[in-house]
Chain A
Amino acid sequence: MSAPVSADLAQIGKSVVIKGELSGSEDLYVDGQVEGSIALKNNSLTVGPNGQVKASVEAKGIVIQGKLEGNVQASDRVELRKSAVVTGDISTQRISIEEGAYLKGKVDISGAKVEKVSAR
């Protein structure tokens, strides 16, 4: 899947490596490597299929297609696509997990709404 094209979407391409604290007030698409922390309180984060994130993550909505190692906190929703490999605890209001996604960690739902998405 190629990265989405949007004027309001910041992108980290698959050859980019970032170590440090990322924060912002726009949506972020990560297809490269990020180590540290990512904070997008009112925006969404997408970890693309090539993305390798080793960070604590906080955002409004989080979609994971690649690898994420760290705790995940979403004020709205977390989506684990079938290629997701997540090691860490997830705290959110809603979660959607595709068949094939891998999770090693805790799922803590406040407001308990979990959707199941079948493999396509």
Chain B
Amino acid sequence: MASVTHNFMKLFRGSSSGTQGEVQQVPQKLTRRSSGLGELARVWASETPLCVLDLGSTSPANIRFFTEKEHKIYSEDLLVASTEQGLLTKDEQGNVVLDSRKFLADNLLYPAAHFDVVLCWNLPDYLDESLVRPVMGRLWSVLKPGGMLLAFFHTKDAGPDSPCYRFHIVEKDILEMQRIVIRREARRGPTGAVHTAIGEGFRLQRVFNNRHIETLFRDFASIKFFLARDNVREVLVVR
């Protein structure tokens, strides 16, 4: 298993380190139709240039998609940012948690009411518990009134080993999903720190039910649910 994983990593990353002459396979990419994205398509079909925030992995496809429509696209991979070792701290009970204040001091630094659209993808499902609410609060503040946020949540039928995907917009309502493979190589992160925590991949942290999702987005004006067949619930909220 480790050698297969290593081969996926090498191919995905293009690294030639530790090559052992084994057969390499391309990480499988899946496509899915997204109702939430289809709703947003009406927004970015407008002639007014939009400000879009993509919180997934840096996606050349997404950057191309929005810039071709003359929108401004901001890219910020919060899952990777949440693996910074400097965020580790202890709560009052002595449990190891992530310092949400430090996290928000280093990330999501934008003016208030700046974005028309925020693409969260599956971030809330995989983000550390201590960061979820603070991040959603920050996202509310950086969204313009009337701005929209799209997020994907696993349903209870999804297993704890549900893979974490990157999402690439292919067409107005079609996404290409690329599994985030385990990376064991050291990689320099955004602050220059060398990451090894990424090597373990991202695990599903929790499964939200509808009530939890409504509570998470209680500060938003409206919420819309789209249930898909692949055990994913798409949620579109409006500030």
Residues of A within 8 A of B (CB): 52, 67, 82, 85, 87, 95, 97-109, 112, 114-117, 119-120
Tally B residues with Cβ within 8 Å of A: 25
Q: A105-B75, A107-B73 are in contact. Are A116 and B61 (CB under 8 A)?
A: yes
Number of A-B contacts (CB under 8 A): 72
Which of B17-25, B31-39, B62-70, B146-154 lies on the face that meets chain A?
B62-70
Interface of B is mostly: mixed
* Distance (whole angstroms) from the CB of B56 to the closest CB of chain A: 12
For A101, list chain B residues within 8 Å (CB): 58, 60
B190 in the interface (beta carbon within 8 A): yes
For A52, list chain B residues within 8 Å (CB): 192
B99 in the interface (beta carbon within 8 A): no
Q: Closest chain B residue to A82 by CB distance?
A: B14
* Distance (whole angstroms) from the CB of B14 to the closest CB of chain A: 5
For A115, list chain B residues within 8 Å (CB): 64
Interface residue from A67, A100, A102, A114 paired with B63 (Cβ < 8 Å): A114
Tell me, in angstroms, the Cα distance from A82 to B61 when the chains sit together: 14
B188 in the interface (beta carbon within 8 A): yes
Digitize B5-47: 1 where CB-to-A-CB distance is under 8 Å, 0 elsewhere: 0000001111000000000000000000000000000000000
B179 in the interface (beta carbon within 8 A): no
Q: Decide: B189 and A85 in contact? CB cutoff 8 A.
A: yes
Q: Decide: B14 and A120 in contact? CB cutoff 8 A.
A: yes
Q: Decide: A82 and B63 in contact? CB cutoff 8 A.
A: no
Q: Decide: A105 and B74 in contact? CB cutoff 8 A.
A: yes
B77 in the interface (beta carbon within 8 A): yes
For B12, list chain A residues within 8 Å (CB): 99-100, 119
* Distance (whole angstroms) from the CB of B192 to the closest CB of chain A: 7
Interface residue from A85, A100, A104, A112 paired with B75 (Cβ < 8 Å): A104
For A107, list chain B residues within 8 Å (CB): 63, 67, 72-75
Q: A104-B190, A107-B67, A119-B13 are in contact. List 17 more A-B contacts (CB 8 A).
A: A52-B192, A82-B14, A85-B188, A97-B58, A97-B60, A97-B63, A100-B13, A101-B60, A102-B58, A103-B58, A104-B77, A106-B73, A106-B74, A112-B69, A114-B63, A115-B64, A119-B11
For A98, list chain B residues within 8 Å (CB): 60
For B67, list chain A residues within 8 Å (CB): 95, 107-109, 112, 114
Q: Closest chain B residue to A100 by CB distance?
A: B13
B76 in the interface (beta carbon within 8 A): yes
